[in-house]
């Protein structure tokens, strides 16, 4: 195409030259993204999602603390070209099985089976914390619902409530046996009020009830005070000295981007003038890599190419350097670049946001939209609302893990309860999903690192 334009220039045909330039520009702005199948991951080993097989058992390597190591090969993932989740399926309540409310109660509480109390409130003061993503079930037995109707809801609620039902198809997916569902139905039918429709009072504690519970989170203090935010302490210890340290190639970050200057209110670890405003545009499209990249993704390829320092994604050097770079834009609004590649990534990311994955067959949308669990409690966790909340303010310090997390670590973590294999942390598909999330918070101000969270 370049040769064509050069020929047109020699012919002195300005109209044709302009047309040729437009064609070249169009070709340059629309790219085909690589996928996790083609992308050579630069993630730390624990983040690569490696599948291993021993003694006939397939497992996936996951982070310490992840409660699953099974490989869920037969279920959909976020990978491009993944199989689709099965369509809604009608169940048939078995005959000859007598439901036992006590067994149903035990199943309702069983963690590997749900737990159902993560979304539903029942009259049991010993259970805490329960959620309210789904309806209050304390008096469901007073409603006169047929057993077959309740059976279908547990078996596959999509048949009744539509394909976008937030609840998983526990029976149709094989997570629950037909007999187990019969026991749960018997338990649900036993939940009645006194008088009918009025829940039994089992406690005076308003925090027990997710419908009256206060939203408690670590929103105290100054998030940019190192004494209250371990993310800053880690960044000061790791990324700040590395910024000016020459790597194996004889170059440092400061050699190209300038030194770290004096701190100010938004950047307590120092101001890097050339980096101010940079993070507001990420994720962004990089034609040389044929994909969208977050700051963390780019650091993983750019830093070793220029300085020789290894900086794999989800590693502490990568995460702390991301904090240092991103906080240079604190107080500035997110503003993604508006071009064909970014728009295509947003579209791909939206599909991923709504894609049902894993054996549970649930999607991001089931927790983070008003149709699902947004601004409700999932157990003790208050769920964010896409479009209203700033969902991506990462990396941040996660107190329960004692570590920095970026948004990709969060995505990988979510795959475990969904019984789905995770992709490598730097997968292009995750970059598309992150781009979609950030597109919904345009105009929100960066505030990195955010307050620590459990």
pLDDT by position in tens, the chain (length 454) = 444 445 444 555 544 444 444 444 444 567 899 999 999 999 999 999 999 999 999 999 999 988 889 999 999 999 999 999 999 999 999 999 999 999 999 999 999 899 999 999 999 999 999 999 999 999 999 999 999 999 999 999 999 999 999 999 999 999 999 999 999 999 999 999 999 999 999 999 999 999 999 987 655 578 999 888 999 999 999 999 999 999 999 999 999 999 999 999 999 999 999 999 999 999 999 999 999 999 999 999 999 999 999 999 999 999 999 999 999 999 999 999 999 999 999 999 999 999 999 999 999 999 999 999 999 999 999 999 998 999 999 999 998 888 999 999 999 999 999 999 999 999 999 999 999 999 999 999 999 999 888 7
**H helix runs in 339-451, sequence order:** 340-353, 365-368, 407-415, 428-439
Q: Which helix (H) or strand (E) holds 18?
A: helix 14-29
Alpha-carbon distance of 336 to 442, in angstroms, equals: 7
Task: Specify whether 289 is located in the same domain as 435.
Answer: yes
Residue 241 lies in a domain: yes
Task: Specify whether 176 is located in the same domain as 309.
Answer: no
Residue 239 lies in a domain: yes
Tell the residue number behind the tokens 């310490």, with chain if given.
64
Q: Which pLDDT score is estimated for 218?
A: 55
Residue 77 lies in a domain: no
Question: CATH number for the domain including 164?
Answer: 1.10.760.10
Task: Specify whether 280 is located in the same domain as 143.
Answer: no
Task: Specify whether 259 is located in the same domain as 121.
Answer: no
Residue 91 lies in a domain: no
348 in Cβ contact with 428 (< 8 Å): no
Residue 79 lies in a domain: no
Q: Which of 82, 118, 136 is nearest to 348 (CA)?
A: 82
The percent of residues above 70 in pLDDT, for the chain, comes to: 93
Task: Specify whether 243 is located in the same domain as 316.
Answer: yes
Task: Specify whether 117 is located in the same domain as 54.
Answer: no
pLDDT digits (tens, 9 = 90+) for 1-15: 444 445 444 555 544
Q: Which of 273, 272, 284, 314 is nearest to 398 (CA)?
A: 314
From residue 181, give the alpha-carbon distance in Å to each of 100, 116, 362, 400: 10, 12, 19, 34
Alpha-carbon distance of 197 to 195, in angstroms, equals: 6
Q: Which pLDDT score is estimated for 12?
A: 52
Task: Specify whether 109 is located in the same domain as 59.
Answer: no
Task: Specify whether 328 is located in the same domain as 448.
Answer: yes
Task: Specify whether 137 is located in the same domain as 9.
Answer: no
Q: Which pLDDT score is estimated for 257?
A: 98
Q: Which pLDDT score is estimated for 26?
A: 42
Alpha-carbon distance of 327 to 281, in angstroms, equals: 13
**H helix runs in 128-268, sequence order:** 147-155, 158-161, 178-189, 230-243, 253-257
Q: 122: alpha, beta or left, given left = phi > 0 and alpha = psi -120 to 50?
A: beta
How many Cβ atoms sit within 10 Å of the Cβ of residue 385? 18
Domain final position from 173, 189, 205: 189
Task: Specify whether 267 is located in the same domain as 163.
Answer: no
Residue 323 lies in a domain: yes
Number of domains observed in the structure of the chain? 3
Task: Specify whether 42 is located in the same domain as 16.
Answer: no
Q: Which pLDDT score is estimated for 17?
A: 43
Q: In residues, how long is the chain?
A: 454
Task: Specify whether 175 is located in the same domain as 254.
Answer: no
363 in Cβ contact with 353 (< 8 Å): yes
Residue 205 lies in a domain: no
pLDDT digits (tens, 9 = 90+) for 210-238: 999 998 765 557 899 988 899 999 999 99
Q: Which of 359, 356, 322, 421 is nearest to 114 (CA)?
A: 359
From residue 250, give the alpha-carbon distance in Å to each of 154, 308, 360: 62, 8, 50
Structural domain span for residue 353: 33-71+215-454
Residue 243 lies in a domain: yes
* DSSP assigned state of 140: G
Alpha-carbon distance of 357 to 334, in angstroms, equals: 29
């Amino acid at each position: 195409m370049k040769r064509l334009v050069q020929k047109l220039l020699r012919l002195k045909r300005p109209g044709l030259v302009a047309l040729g330039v437009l064609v070249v520009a169009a070709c340059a702005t629309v790219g085909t993204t690589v996928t996790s199948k083609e992308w050579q991951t630069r993630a730390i080993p624990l983040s690569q999602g490696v599948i291993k097989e021993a003694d006939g058992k397939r497992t996936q390597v996951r982070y310490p603390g992840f409660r699953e190591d099974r490989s869920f090969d037969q279920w959909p993932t976020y990978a491009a070209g993944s199989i689709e989740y099965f369509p809604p399926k009608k169940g048939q309540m078995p005959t000859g099985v007598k439901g036992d409310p006590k067994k149903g109660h035990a199943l309702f509480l069983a963690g590997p089976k749900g737990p159902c109390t993560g979304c539903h409130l029942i009259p049991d003061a010993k259970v805490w914390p329960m959620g309210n993503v789904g309806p209050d079930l304390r008096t469901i037995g007073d409603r006169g619902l047929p057993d077959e109707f309740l059976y279908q809801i547990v078996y596959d609620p999509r048949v009744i409530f539509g394909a976008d039902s937030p609840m998983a198809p526990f029976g149709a997916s094989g997570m629950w046996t037909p007999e187990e569902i019969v026991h749960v139905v018997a338990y649900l039918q036993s939940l009645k009020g006194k008088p009918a429709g009025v829940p039994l009072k089992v406690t005076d504690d308003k925090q027990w009830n997710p419908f009256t519970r206060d939203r408690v989170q670590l929103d105290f203090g100054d998030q940019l005070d190192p004494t209250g935010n371990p993310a800053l302490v880690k960044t000061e210890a790791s990324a700040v000295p590395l910024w000016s340290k020459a790597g194996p190639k004889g170059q440092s970050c400061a050699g190209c981007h300038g030194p770290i200057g004096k701190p100010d209110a938004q950047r307590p670890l120092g101001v890097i003038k050339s980096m101010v405003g940079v993070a507001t545009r990420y994720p962004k499209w990089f034609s040389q890599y044929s994909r969208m990249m977050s700051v963390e993704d780019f650091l993983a390829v750019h830093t070793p190419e220029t300085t020789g320092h290894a900086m794999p994604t989800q590693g502490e050097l990568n995460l702390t350097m991301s904090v240092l770079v991103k906080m240079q834009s604190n107080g500035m609004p997110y503003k993604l670049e508006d071009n064909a590649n970014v728009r295509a990534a947003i579209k791909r990311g939206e599909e991923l946001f709504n894609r049902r994955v894993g054996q549970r067959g649930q999607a991001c949308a089931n927790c983070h939209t008003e149709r699902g669990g947004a601004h409700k409690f999932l157990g003790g966790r208050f769920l964010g609302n896409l479009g209203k909340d700033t969902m991506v303010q990462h990396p941040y310090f996660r107190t329960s893990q004692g570590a920095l997390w970026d948004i990709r670590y969060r995505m990988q973590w979510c795959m475990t309860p969904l019984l789905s294999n995770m992709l490598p942390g730097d997968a292009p598909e995750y970059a598309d999903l992150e781009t979609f999330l950030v597109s919904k918070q345009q105009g929100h101000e960066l505030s990195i690192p955010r307050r620590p969270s459990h």
